[in-house]
Amino acid sequence: MLDDILSKLPPSAKYPNLLVGVETGDDSAVFKINDEQAVVATTDFFMPIVDDPYDFGRISATNALSDIYAIGGQPIMALAIAGFPVNSMSDEDIAQVLAGGAAVCEAAGVPVAGGHTIDAKEPIYGLAVTGLIHPDKIKRNSDGRAGDVLILGKGLGVGILGAAMNKDELDPEGYKVMVESTTKLNSVGAELAALTEINALTDVTGFGLCGHMYEFCKGAGLSANIVWDQLPLLDTVLDYAQKGYNTGAAGRNWDSFVDYVVIPDGMEQWQKNLLMDPQTSGGLLASCPPEAVEKVLKTFHDAGFDHACVIGDLSAGDAKVTVT
């Protein structure tokens, strides 16, 4: 449905300096300023996924900044986007949301230079982020090549942990794991952009692994092969997944991408749930030739992404995702 809506917008081709627009569903827009610099811009916001206002602010800010990193950019400035029910939400809680976002931006070396706030029925918070990138170092989600190896930077399962939390059945360790993952900045994206061996890059968020993997394939005109046994899961996720915790968004993702994802006969429901589990501030997904795998993994691991691993490869064929 979104593709149909976007297709009715004026074409961006008449703006030659717009290097990345809406055509391939990349994480950020990129506009060339000169031969050495391009501006990267994105915006992202949502309603609380946790009860703690400070954690909510941190998670939202991390998620927004990730879109800059996912194209290889370096964020330089952020504007806050916020809506709060001012008659029912305390000033202290509002301040905590803003403080959480500001703390993440501070860690990223990014000033929160302003923003806009409205009175809303439910809390909303996020960022509009501006960054910079060299025009030759842009990493699109559509530039994968046949034979490339696929590397995922973070473990999966944020949505499933959130589903358990919403039923008040997530233990303190599970909450800690969820918050640590969703507040870990994907700043390694700027380092990955410097590697000429990286062909394509994106981050895995609301569409889940297979949804974003299909976007990867569609843009490049390739097929992806994902190995189930190689998928990294966040600590404690397996137990919650096997107990049946799941999100409504995972089901909607399956409805959207079912025609483009092939799974083995007999795959259990909890496994299917994980394949489309929506990630908040999920891991970067990179493609590179086999000879560069060790270098790319070292870049991830040196930056503290312990879950980073090979999950499959790209091959010639129709745009689809096959899980084995």
Pair (104, 204) in one structural domain: no
Query: What phi and psi, each to the nearest 5 degrees, are found at residue 170?
Result: -95, 125
Nearest to 48 by CA among 154, 165, 177: 165
Residue 308 domain-assigned? yes
Residue 5, in any domain of the structure: no
> 314 near 150, Cβ under 8 Å?
yes
Among 223, 237, 227, 273, which Cα is nearest to 253's? 273
**Which pLDDT does position 2 carry in this prediction?**
54
240 and 169 co-located in one domain: yes
Would residue 6 count as lying in a domain? no
For the chain, which residues score pLDDT lower than 50?
none
Q: How many C-beta neighbours within 10 Å does residue 257 have? A: 21
Question: Where does a domain end: 115, 136, 157?
Answer: 136
Residues in contact with 127: Cβ distance below 8 Å, sequence separation at least 6, in sequence order: 43, 44, 45, 60, 61, 64, 65, 78, 79, 80, 81, 101, 105, 112, 115
Tell me what pLDDT residue 6 has. 57
Quick check: is 4 in a domain?
Answer: no
Query: Residue 203: what residue type?
Result: D
102 and 235 in a single domain? The answer is no
CA angle 259, 314, 12 (to 5 degrees): 70
Quick one: 106 and 118 in the same domain? Answer: yes
pLDDT of residue 10: 64
Q: What domain range includes position 87?
A: 11-136
Count CB neighbours of 300 within 10 A. 23
pLDDT score recorded for residue 27: 77
- pLDDT given at position 4: 62
pTM: 0.92
Domain boundary among 136, 164, 184: 136
User: Which of 136, 171, 186 is a domain's end point?
Assistant: 136
Residues 166 and 232 reside in one and the same domain? yes
For residue range 118-159, what is the model confidence (pLDDT) as tens digits?
999 999 999 999 999 999 999 998 899 999 999 999 999 999
Q: What CATH number does the domain containing 57 carry?
A: 3.30.1330.10
Whether residue 132 is found in the same domain as residue 214: no
Mean pLDDT taken over the chain: 94
Beta 74-84 vs 38-46: how paired, if at all? unpaired
At 84, which amino acid appears? F
Does residue 242 lie within any of the structural domains? yes
| The token pair that represents 265 in the structure block | 């006969």
312 lies in the same domain as 189? yes
- On whether both 297 and 155 belong to a single domain, the answer is yes
Question: The domain that contains 236 carries what CATH number?
Answer: 3.90.650.10
The number of folded domains in the chain is 2
> Considering the domain boundaries, does residue 149 fall inside one?
yes
* Same structural domain, 186 and 74: no
